[in-house]
Amino acid sequence: MRKGEEKNRVHQVSTYLTQEDDTELIWFFTQDITDVIKKRDELRELNLLLDGILNNIPVYLYVKDPEDDFRYLYWNKAFAEHSKIPASRAIGRTDFEIFPERADAERFRRDDLELIRTHERIDMQETYVAATGETRIVQTLKALVPMEGREPLLIGISWDITNFQNIEQELIKARIKAEQSDRLKTAFLANMSHEIRTPLNAIVGFSNLLPSAETLEEEKLYSSIINQNSEILLQLINDILDLSKIEAGTLEYVRQPMNLGEICRNIYQIHKDRVQEGVTLILDNQDEDLIIEEDRNRIAQVITNFLTNAGKFTLSGEIRFGFKVNNQCIRFYVKDTGIGIAPDKVGHIFDRFVKLNSFAQGTGLGLAICRMIIEKIGGEIGVTSEIGKGSTFYFTIPYKESSDDRIAFSEASETKYISHTIKKIKKILVAEDVDSNFVLIKNMIGKDYTLLWAKDGFEAVEMYKQFQPDLILMDIKMPRMGGLEATRIIRSYSKEIPVIALTAYAFEADKEQALEAGCNDFVTKPVSKAALEEALGKCCG
| Cβ within 8 Å of residue 356, ≥6 positions away | 341, 342, 345, 349
* pLDDT, tens digit, 9 for 90 and up, residues 448-459: 899 999 999 999
pLDDT bucket at 506, cuts 50 / 70 / 90: low
* Average pLDDT estimate for 128-155: 89
pLDDT of residue 54: 66
Residue 288, pLDDT > 60, answer: yes
| Distance, CA of 201 to CA of 226 (rounded, Å) | 10
Of 35-44, 133-142, 222-231, 487-496, the range with the lowest mean pLDDT is: 35-44
pLDDT of residue 519: 92
| Distance, CA of 429 to CA of 470 (rounded, Å) | 8
Return the ∠ at Cα 95 (arms to 91 and 100), rounded to 5°.
Answer: 110
Backbone conformation region of residue 474, classed left if phi is above 0, alpha if psi is from -120 to 50, else beta: beta
pLDDT of residue 326: 85
Residue 357, pLDDT > 90, answer: no
Q: Are 434 and 526 in contact (CB under 8 A)?
A: no
Of 122-136, 216-230, 320-334, 358-372, the range with the lowest mean pLDDT is: 358-372
The reported pTM is 0.48
Residue 508, pLDDT > 90, answer: no
- Longest CA pairwise span in the chain (Å): 162
Phi, psi (5° rounding) for residue 6?
Answer: -75, 135
* pLDDT, tens digit, 9 for 90 and up, residues 1-34: 445 555 666 767 777 777 777 777 777 777 776 6
Sheet holding 521-524, edge to edge: 450-454, 427-431, 471-474, 499-503, 521-524
Residue 188, pLDDT > 80, answer: no
* pLDDT, tens digit, 9 for 90 and up, residues 42-74: 667 766 666 666 667 778 888 999 999 999 998
pLDDT of residue 405: 46
Quote the distance between the C-alpha of residue 382 and its chain's center. Answer: 19
| Distance, CA of 329 to CA of 381 (rounded, Å) | 13
Residue 78, pLDDT > 90, answer: no
pLDDT of residue 509: 72
pLDDT of residue 114: 93
pLDDT of residue 32: 72
* Average pLDDT estimate for 417-423: 40
pLDDT of residue 391: 93
Question: Which of 296, 486, 518, 509 is CA-nearest to residue 416?
Answer: 518
Q: Are 359 and 345 in contact (CB under 8 A)?
A: no
Residue 41, pLDDT > 70, answer: no
* pLDDT, tens digit, 9 for 90 and up, residues 362-391: 556 778 888 888 888 889 999 999 998 999
pLDDT bucket at 396, cuts 50 / 70 / 90: very high
pLDDT of residue 320: 94
* Average pLDDT estimate for 264-274: 88
| Distance, CA of 257 to CA of 411 (rounded, Å) | 9
Instruction: Describe the chain by its helix, strand, coil percentages, rounded to 5.
Output: 45, 25, 30
Higher model confidence: residue 253 or residue 507?
253
Q: Select the highest-mean-pLDDT range: 299-313, 350-364, 394-408.
A: 299-313
| Distance, CA of 155 to CA of 73 (rounded, Å) | 10
Higher model confidence: residue 493 or residue 199?
493
Q: What is the mean pLDDT of the chain?
A: 82
pLDDT bucket at 193, cuts 50 / 70 / 90: confident
